[in-house]
A and B are shown apart, each in its own frame.
Chain A
Amino acid sequence: SQQGEEDPQALSIQEGENATMNCSYKTSINNLQWYRQNSGRGLVHLILIRSNEREKHSGRLRVTLDTSKKSSSLLITASRAADTASYFCATDSGAGSYQLTFGKGTKLSVIP
């Protein structure tokens, strides 16, 4: 079953605007990760936030985590056309096999 559920399913913005994607999950986690997938390609890791962290930054990316609400958000600031991709959240429950459970993703289109 899908652990993470992203919202919205699709998002279209103008270049330079900020993009916010949300992820909700169901069970307790060790960490939550965000991945990007360009069309027809594999997934690329973007950022990880641990369960005891509330906010993390990496370049133009900002991730927040609210474990009481079981939700996370990914903010991409000053978006570029090259940010056009699908974005997935994935949760790691902390089991020894480091399994990730992925959401269905948000498809982001950045219009030049």
Chain B
Amino acid sequence: NAGVTQTPKFRVLKTGQSMTLLCAQDMNHEYMYWYRQDPGMGLRLIHYSVGEGTTAKGEVPDGYNVSRLKKQNFLLGLESAAPSQTSVYFCASRPLRDIPYNEQFFGPGTRLTVL
């Protein structure tokens, strides 16, 4: 199993450009999450999904949209990138039930720079 994968690994955007980050998991997990991590900070939740076709806002959702059309994929979109969105983005997933630990499984991250 590949676990949680993220594409791309790195990206540089200009202010106002748009892009989509892809997260894929092959563990048949119900829940998926998008976080951002800024220097000296922990992870902050952007959006999450509790199942295919559902999405919900996290702590810092402004400027981002998400979609979960397929259970294994969770897309994060930036419609008009701003320098404040320069960050490292992490995707995570977890199963529906405790197994017995309800840990989240993380992808390797996408480093995004907005100029």
Known contacts A43-B90, A97-B56, A104-B40: A48-B102 contact under CB 8 Å: yes
Would you call B59 an interface residue if the criterion is a C-beta within 8 Å of the partner chain's C-beta atoms?
A: yes
Interface pair B108/A98, CB less than 8 Å apart = no
Give the number of chain A interface residues (Cβ < 8 Å). 26
Q: How far is the CB of A9 from chain B (nearest CB, A)?
A: 8
Q: How far does the alpha carbon of A61 sit from the alpha carbon of B92 in the complex, in Å?
A: 23
Q: How far does the alpha carbon of A98 sit from the alpha carbon of B45 in the complex, in Å?
A: 12
Give the number of chain B interface residues (Cβ < 8 Å). 27
Interface residues of B in 10-50 (CB under 8 A from A): 31, 33, 35, 40-45, 48, 50
Interface pair B50/A96, CB less than 8 Å apart = yes
Using Cβ atoms and an 8 Å threshold, which residues of chain A touch B48? 97, 99
Interface pair A99/B45, CB less than 8 Å apart = yes
Known contacts A33-B103, A48-B102, A97-B50: A104-B41 contact under CB 8 Å: yes
Would you call B94 an interface residue if the criterion is a C-beta within 8 Å of the partner chain's C-beta atoms?
A: yes
Q: How far does the alpha carbon of A96 sit from the alpha carbon of B48 in the complex, in Å?
A: 12
Q: How far is the CB of B60 from chain A (nearest CB, A)?
A: 10
> From A45, which residue of chain B is reached at the shortest CB distance?
B103
Using Cβ atoms and an 8 Å threshold, which residues of chain B touch A101? 45, 59
List chain A positions with a Cβ less than 8 A from chain B: 1-2, 4, 31, 33, 35, 40-45, 48, 88, 90, 92, 96-105
> Knowing that A41-B108, A48-B102, A88-B42 are A-B contacts, what are 7 other residue pairs whose CB atoms are under 8 Å apart, sorted by A's residue number?
A4-B42, A43-B104, A45-B103, A97-B56, A100-B104, A101-B59, A104-B40
